Chains A and B, each alone.
Chain A
Amino acid sequence: MKFIFSYLKKYMWTVGLVMLIKFLGTFGELMLPYILEHLIDEVVPQKQIWPVIGWGIGMIILAVFVRQFNVKANRLAVKVAKCSIYEIRRDLFRKSINLSGRQFDEFGLPSLTSRMTSDSYNVQNFIQSIQAMGVRAPIMLFGGIIITLNMDPGLAAILCIMAPILITIVLFVSFKGIPLYEKVQKSVDDIVRIMRENITGIRVVKSLSKEDYEMRRFDDTNTEMARNDRKAGTVMAMPGPIMTLFLNCGLTIVVLIGANRVNDGIIEPGVILAFLTYFNMILMGVMGLNRIFMLMSKANASAKRIEAVVRASEELTPMPESEAAVPDSDDYIIFDHVDFTYDVGETEEASEKFAGQTREKCLYDIDFRIKKGGSLGIIGATGAGKTTIINLLMRFYDPNKGHIFVDGKDVRTYDKDTLHRMFGVVFQNDVIFADTLRENIAFGRDVTLEEIRRAATDARAGEFIEAYEDAYDHRAVIHGANLSGGQRQRTLIARALAADPQILILDDSSSALDYKTDAALRKAIRENHGDATTIIIAQRISSIMSLDKILVLDEGRCIGYGTHDELMLSCQMYRDIYKTQMGEYGNG
């Protein structure tokens, strides 16, 4: 709740204004029936036409004011809701997109998405309605109590005892509701996840004719969600009627005690009658409060989930240079005896996701250096830790032991963006966005069309892009589905080359290219991007054999490091890979 209020703070005055206007509007609204009563009880019996018309017109004028006030208050309330939810979503998005790799894995993509949408919607709903209801309900509740206190403190005492009990019930239930709604929102995560899985894997699902199975799988989650939702709904449905019952019991007691007091001559019977009228008002007030708290319960659960992301501790912040390690040589990229294990997070989400797993060490004592403008090839079995080296170099994670230096500085001392701007990188599962090819290559950087064209040509993408009528303005659809695998990879490589990066990293990014294209690509990189310090991860030995140094990885350990020729002599595994791949040549 605090979280939501922290966003409302800025609009304190507007909210105050809303409440004031709403107060006036509600007051006018409550006044109308009394004017009517007055008109009929007092004015009409005088049998004079002009006072009647006068009072009637007065009522109409008041009605106009009531409408204007209520509309104004509602609109202002909507405005506050709009602005604050805009800010909440803005902060949530900024934070999500900047989460560290570990944090992102922990929350999980489906959950982050549903926090962004479903949860923010719940919060918005709450902000919008609380401003209006938050005025009306208390006015009726406290107004009613004050009036009855004036009439007969003795009888009103019954209400005064009851009100706190009722409010306690409401608070208690709405508090109980929070975890229930959290569960509902978690099921929303699951729904989102299964839908995503099926949307991305539709080809596999269809090819194995697993549609029915998937429908059943979705059905289970759907049932689970409906069950959680019902559970929360049932709990939330209780306080309203129960409170009505309580109040009505109170009313019965009022009648009984009132009868006693009449009998004792303390009050007039009319007082009890008037009590009845105001009782209704108090009842409406309590019901209004109830609705507020029920809404609050749902919003609270969602706010907690949003807050967990927004308030997630800033990880991988730059370290002051005084604390950082100092390199022992002037090489451009240095891995100094690096050990690394993917961490199991400590949050609830993480412990669920990894269900008690402890991950084994990913890298053991990795140690290499690359000169400025030099190149390194990394080769090794699936799961050997090749990509992890990149993850550490770009500081998506911090190593457990050892140090990594880029351009003479510990990577931990760099501002994140400054560090990343040095890189041009293609990941294994890289994405093409639904946008023009030009924007997919430029990727938010200030590069001219000329530079884009050059990069595309080097990446061997120029040819197919320029074959489109609208060339670089051609739009890729979602996940680049209108491009072939090879075209996607070439576009991604063009993205990496576009800003003439100081460091170029290609992580298995030519796997979908035919050899001819791959060779031409390597040649272009060598000739036009020779200054870039290059790291290439590949399965094909031909992609890396001409690089300055090659690192052979096996289950997280470096088992060979040197030039192609050195490795051919010293590294058994490298020799084997070479033989299996290049042996083909002899046969051909």
Chain B
Amino acid sequence: MAKRDAVMKKPKDTKGTLLRLLGYMKEFKWIILIVLILSFASNVLALFGPKLAGAAINEAAAGKGKVNFDKVYFYAGRMLLFYLVSSGLSISISVIMMYLSRFIAKKMRKDIFDKLMRLPVGFFDTHQAGDIISRVSYDVDVVSTCLATDVVAIMTGLVTVVGSFVMMVSISPILAVVSLVTIPAATVYTAKMRKITQPRFSKRSAKYGEMNGFVEEMFSGQKSIIAYAYEDKVSEKFDKINDEASDAFYDAAYYGMTMGPSVGFINNIGLSLTAMFGSMLFMGGMIDLGKISSFILYSRKFSGPINEIANIVTELYSALSAAERVFAMLDQEEEVKDSQDANVLDHVRGTVEFENVRFGYAKDKTIIHNLNMKADAGKLIAIVGPTGAGKTTIINLLMRFYDVDEGSIYVDGKESRTYTRESLRKAYAMVLQETWVFKGTIFENIAYGKENATMEEVVAAAKAARIHPFIMRLPQGYETVISEDGGNISKGQKQLLTIARAMLYNARMLILDEATSNVDTSTEQQIQKAMRELMKDKTCFVIAHRLSTIQNADNILVVNQGDVVEQGIHETLMAKKGFYYKLYAAQFE
């Protein structure tokens, strides 16, 4: 399972990550400014509270029987008011920041998903679903939690730090310099710790992704795993991955967790030094006792937020690592954009021509060597050949899921790359052997290719695909919810649904890749008529093993090891007694 780690490796660029993360907040800069002002105000108000309390107590200090209750009530009333406003402010701040972080999380999730939609098909053939999903379900969550609480804490903390420092300088510049020693010490320390912890946090995120990938893959094969009594072995494998993930977590936290106490320690040292030095100044008659007292009071206020920030910094690092994974995903190379002067393919006639096409999924492994073929509009082209000959690859090229390495494919006389991808793909309806349904009603699944399809159209398509009676037997008919993983519908039925979907879609060209391989013969016979109706006047590319389905093709391409070895109509190919003849005869062995 070594290569399971589908992490997209990129040089680590913390600053860049941070800047991009800030980029997400840019949009909200005014809101953030307001939050800052609010938190400043609430801090000031909170400072006023004790002052007012002190004033009230001063009044009370008059002693037995001499308390001026009017004044006491006045100050107490003020206190209440200030606390009320301050609480209101802090509720607003935390709610605003919470909203903000959820917005950003939502935006990140959206960005990742939108990105997925723009990635080439090849990406999905090589990356684990679970790892991609964990970027959305785990990494984004880490980032958003950090934004919601930590960013505000850091910002308000900084306000307090700066404020207190100003006060400290005004009391005693010399002492302020002494206590300032802690800042470089803390900075150097956190910078050093960042070097240690950040790679560990990145590893943690990557390991979680890996674990998620494994889990998703194993769950998707759960039935087979049970059937082969493979559970224990798989669980052992999981134990290993789980162990690695737990270790990565421990390793990161082991170092991360020292940050808070250590910075606290530096602060305490600073405090002690200030106290000693201050005492000496006092003894030297350079400062009075009251000033030391208030200086120390402020230096505690000064170090409080630094402590807090040091605690938070760990989370910030882990958020940065998570953000890095999110951004790595967003930096994946997209499907090559349509060229600027790309045309929209409309009024499709449906001629397709392959000219000297060479292609391989990996650069060094050519699958298709030199493919030439021509499909005239409205003709039925069958592609036959032994498994692994490259039939599905041809379809990948037709649909431009992949682009050819050499040579050209012409559609309606023009290089297919001169069309926009969307219009080119829309020109084809496709039914694949790998059926795909999503969680939704049967109606939605059939109507998927055609927006605003009416119920009549959907029913007609379902009837043509011979799936209507089955649907009607379901308790909620077309409104029955089906799902990919629920297993409440058989594979053959899924295939029929997919066919109904294609029938409704009604494009000018049709691709059928083993479209009926899991459908029983009599149903297949029944839908043949509808299929023929569907295929009429359309350019069709059909891959089928049951050669009976393609006997009346206008051109049969016999593919072997990526090359067309024979082509022609059934009769000629049979007469030739070549490769096709052998394939055909094998059916009846």
| 8 CB < 8 A contacts A-B | A203-B432, A203-B434, A203-B436, A204-B432, A241-B94, A443-B224, A444-B233, A542-B587
Since A104-B223, A434-B217 are in contact, a sample of 4 more A-B pairs with Cβ atoms closer than 8 Å, ordered by chain A residue number, is: A44-B279, A214-B117, A242-B87, A539-B519
Residues from chain B with a CB closer than 8 A to the CB of A357 are 474-476, 480
User: What distance in Å separates the Cβ of A47 from its nearest Cβ neighbour in chain B?
Assistant: 5
Query: How far apart sit A213 and B493, CA to CA, in the bound complex (Å)?
Result: 25
Write out, one digit per residue, whether chain A residues 343-381 have a CB within 8 A of any chain B CB (1) or not (0).
Answer: 000000000011111111000000000000000000111
Question: Does A320 make an interface contact (CB < 8 A)?
Answer: no
Residues from chain A with a CB closer than 8 A to the CB of B242 are 86, 89-90, 93
Q: Which residue of B lies closest to A77 (CB)?
A: B257
User: What distance in Å separates the Cβ of A219 from its nearest Cβ neighbour in chain B?
Assistant: 6
User: What distance in Å separates the Cβ of B507 from its nearest Cβ neighbour in chain A?
Assistant: 9
Q: Which residue of A lies closest to B209 (CB)?
A: A117
Question: Does B234 make an interface contact (CB < 8 A)?
Answer: yes
Write out, one digit per residue, whether chain B residues 416-428 have a CB within 8 A of any chain A CB (1) or not (0).
Answer: 0000001001101
Contact B262 A67 (CB under 8 A): yes
Residues from chain A with a CB closer than 8 A to the CB of B268 are 32, 59-60, 62-63, 66-67
Contact B218 A63 (CB under 8 A): no
Q: Which of B90, B116, B235 contacts A241 (CB 8 A)?
A: B90
Q: Which of B212, B227, B269, B384 contacts A113 (CB 8 A)?
A: B212
Query: How far apart sit A357 and B118, CA to CA, in the bound complex (Å)?
Result: 37
Query: How far apart sit A472 and B500, CA to CA, in the bound complex (Å)?
Result: 40
Query: How far apart sit A384 and B518, CA to CA, in the bound complex (Å)?
Result: 12
Query: How far apart sit A587 and B449, CA to CA, in the bound complex (Å)?
Result: 38
- Interface members, chain A 406-450 (any B CB < 8 Å): 416-417, 420-421, 423, 425, 427-431, 433-435, 443-445
Q: Which of B385, B476, B514, B524 contacts A485 (CB 8 A)?
A: B514
Contact A98 B474 (CB under 8 A): no
Query: How far apart sit A541 and B438, CA to CA, in the bound complex (Å)?
Result: 32
Interface of chain A: mostly helix, strand, loop or mixed: helix
- Interface members, chain A 89-134 (any B CB < 8 Å): 89-90, 93-94, 96-99, 101, 104-105, 108-110, 112-114, 116-118, 121, 124, 128
Query: How far apart sit A573 and B60, CA to CA, in the bound complex (Å)?
Result: 103
Question: Does B40 make an interface contact (CB < 8 A)?
Answer: no
Residues from chain A with a CB closer than 8 A to the CB of B280 are 49, 52
Write out, one digit per residue, whether chain B residues 284-311 have a CB within 8 A of any chain A CB (1) or not (0).
Answer: 0000010011001000100000000000
Q: Which residue of A lies closest to B130 (CB)?
A: A113
Question: How many residues of A sit at the interface, in one of the four size bands?
Answer: 35 or more
Q: Which of B49, B65, B109, B586 contacts A191 (CB 8 A)?
A: B109
Q: Which of B220, B233, B247, B282 contacts A431 (CB 8 A)?
A: B220
Contact B520 A188 (CB under 8 A): no
Contact A195-B225, Cβ < 8 Å, known A255-B57, A517-B387:
no
Question: Does B184 make an interface contact (CB < 8 A)?
Answer: no
Question: Does B505 make an interface contact (CB < 8 A)?
Answer: yes
Query: How far apart sit A252 and B283, CA to CA, in the bound complex (Å)?
Result: 40
Residues from chain A with a CB closer than 8 A to the CB of B103 are 226
Question: Does B567 make an interface contact (CB < 8 A)?
Answer: no
User: What distance in Å separates the Cβ of A195 from its nearest Cβ neighbour in chain B?
Assistant: 5
Contact A195-B518, Cβ < 8 Å, known A82-B249, A276-B50, A515-B586:
no
Query: How far apart sit A256 and B80, CA to CA, in the bound complex (Å)?
Result: 11
Question: Does A11 make an interface contact (CB < 8 A)?
Answer: no
Question: Does B340 make an interface contact (CB < 8 A)?
Answer: no
Q: Which of A188, A199, A260 contacts B132 (CB 8 A)?
A: A199
Question: Does A238 make an interface contact (CB < 8 A)?
Answer: yes
Query: How far apart sit A214 and B114, CA to CA, in the bound complex (Å)?
Result: 9
Contact B219 A96 (CB under 8 A): yes
Contact A514 B386 (CB under 8 A): yes
Leading 6 A-B pairs by shortest Cβ distance: A486-B387, A382-B492, A516-B586, A444-B233, A70-B261, A265-B64
Q: Which of A25, A55, A112, A210 contacts B219 (CB 8 A)?
A: A112
Contact A197-B265, Cβ < 8 Å, known A202-B121, A263-B67, A276-B53:
no
